[in-house]
Amino acid sequence: MSNKTLILGLGNDILTDDGIGPRLINDLVQVIKDDDVHYDTACCGGLQIMEYLKGYKKVILIDAIRTKDGNPGDVYYFVPSDFQETLHLSNLHDVHFLTALKFGNNLNLDLPVDLHIIAIEILEDKEFSEEFTQPLKERYSEILKEVEVIISQILNQRKL
């Protein structure tokens, strides 16, 4: 798998907007067809996510995020050096994502050297529902398009 790219949608699809990552993966697999890209979903963070990342050269994570001033449906692009401990890629019972990455690298787990994070601003992630909140439903098609453009740019970097 070392030459393949992983696009991993994170989130729980029964916790309202938290399912944005997996839902985007289900749609992106139909739109971005590339033999060097592997798609997957996961409902974990921290140390558990290292198992998904092992062996890939490039990884694109898609996850939900809640910020103080964001609007539901805003799409953000990050690389690990852009944040400290703020992304939704961890939980209260685990280490945050950057610590997990450092730990995995210290253990020589063959983690990606090229890591990208696409985060979508959400409204609700604590209520059980397989439906998005109305603001996310209304913006979903433009969110998908924006995420598709970002991913295409990342993948095209590989071919330069």
Q: What is the pLDDT of residue 47?
A: 59
| 127/144 Cα distance (integer angstroms) | 23
SS (H, E, C) the chain: CCCCEEEEEECCCCEHHHHHHHHHHHHHHHHCCCCCEEEEEECCCHHHHHHHHCCCCEEEEEEEECCCCCCCCCEEEECHHHCCCCCCCCCCCCCCHHHHHHHHHHCCCCCCCEEEEEEEECCCCCCCECCCCHHHHHHHHHHHHHHHHHHHHHHHHHCC
pTM of the predicted model as reported, rounded to 2 decimal places:
0.81
Mean pLDDT within 85-111: 51
| Residue that is written with structure tokens 């798998």 in the block | 1
**Host domain of residue 24:** 5-158
Q: What is the mean pLDDT of the chain?
A: 81
| 149/82 Cα distance (integer angstroms) | 20
**pLDDT (tens digit, 9 = 90+) per residue, 38-89?**
999 988 766 567 777 888 889 999 999 988 899 999 999 998 777 554 444 4
| Top-confidence residue, 156 or 112 | 156
Provide the pLDDT confidence category of residue 2 given band limits of 50, 70 and 90: low
Task: Specify the pairing of strand 75-78 against strand 58-65.
Answer: unpaired
What is the count of structural domains for the chain?
Answer: 1
CATH number, position 45: 3.40.50.1450
Q: What is the pLDDT of residue 160?
A: 38
Q: What is the pLDDT of residue 124?
A: 80
The token pair at 73 is 């449906």
